[in-house]
Amino acid sequence: MPIAVYVLGLSVFALGTSEFMLSGILQPLARDLGVSIPQAGLLVSAFAIGMVVGAPVLAAATLRLPRRTTLMVLLAVFGLGQVAGALAPTYGVLFVSRVVSALACAGFWAVGAAVAVSLVPVTARARAMAVMVGGLSIANIAGVPAGALLGQHAGWRSAFWAVAVLSAIGLVGVIALVPRTAVPTGDDRPQLRRELTIYKDKQVWLSLTATAMNGAAVFALFSYLSPLLTDTAGLAESWVPTVLGLFGVGALIGTFIGGRVADAHLFPTLFAGISASTVVLAVLAFTAHNPVAAVALSLMLGVTAFTTAPALNARMFNVANAAPTLAGATTTAAFNVGNTLGPWLGGLVIAAHWGYRSVAGLGAALAAVAVVTTFVSFRLQRATPRSRVIAKSAPSADASVPAARTREGAEQHSG
């Protein structure tokens, strides 16, 4: 695995810490700004909305720009967004800073994913994406619990300052270790019109739906995990960083499993991971009052949710192989459609006085939709004649790195 892929994963650690850390500082933030827990939860949705909009827009806008320069600019803007959040005097200013940070984060994910898969052969795509997703897993293990501790002992604003520092470290890594590449010219030059043709494929939309529903299922619970642990399970607020860390440990385990098996067994990985998440969330809905069950199931959800993440990413790059940049952007947008939908729906059921355990039941229902969608995609692929070959990949946007050759064999393994 090229070192540049690991550098991208390290940068994602900073992005992921910012995206997820609100789960650990939701209560002190809400108290300080004088808003309700559901209102504070909307800050998670604000970030996700920025990701949804920013991923395809910035991917299209930067399609013909040098990848390394694009990554550097986006990381710098993201870091400045964290500084703005740390200094935000009101809820509204913090909301705007989250959206701006998310736009930069989305662009980095889209471009970074395209770079990562261009550096490896098609049979290692899930492993490359597992490295990037691993940055999110480590963010959950170290970054989110650390943010929760900072929020409890040094104020929630200190968590934003810490992420700003992480962003600066990531920027140094990109400058030093991601290779400088020339912008392709002639027939090799990326064409937005050509990449947009992926949206005519039913499999692309099925993949997007499964990705969005899986993300919504996880974030419906994760966004409100802190109050669920304290108000429903009866744990002290000091336990929240520990449980968030356990979720991150589970996420790292799941990412490792998914990265190792998804390339050869794509659909089995998707079925197993999403189905297991459905069961875990359903059980939690009935046992959330038990602190032992709540902690154990939080760990298990990290494993099941992140086992599917490399597979979902690899699936999109396989069905949208002719458009590697928009494939990464579209997957990022789909994940964050779910990350927007989940907290919003979770806030609605909490506001309806159904209790915090209701978000687990909601998550189970959303995950079940993802299972059904994945099954439909599998049946559609089995019905497609084997002679049908995935559209030949567009040349890599990084001219110095040969594009991975496309072949349907990677998809056929998963059948």
Q: Name the nearest CA neighbour of 13 among 174, 125, 202, 195.
A: 174
Residues of the chain with pLDDT under 70: 125, 137, 140-141, 181-192, 194-195, 320-325, 328, 384-415
Identify residue 242 by its one-letter amino acid code: T
pLDDT (0 to 100) of residue 396: 41
Please state the φ and ψ torsions of residue 343, each to the nearest 5 degrees.
Answer: -60, -35
Number of H helices, E strands in the chain: 17, 0
Q: Which residues contact 96 (CB under 8 A, 6 or more apart)?
A: none
Query: How far is 13 from 139, CA to CA, in rounded Å?
Result: 5
Q: What is the pTM of this model?
A: 0.67
Q: Which H or E run includes 194?
A: helix 192-196
pLDDT (0 to 100) of residue 140: 66
Domains of the chain plus CATH, in order, are 3-414 (1.20.1250.20)
Identify residue 100 by its one-letter amino acid code: V
pLDDT (0 to 100) of residue 404: 38
pLDDT (0 to 100) of residue 250: 86
Give 332-345 pLDDT, tens digit per residue. 778 878 877 888 88
Q: Which H or E run includes 370?
A: helix 358-383
Give 107-123 pLDDT, tens digit per residue. 888 788 777 777 777 77
pLDDT (0 to 100) of residue 409: 41
Give 79-101 pLDDT, tens digit per residue. 999 999 899 888 888 998 988 88
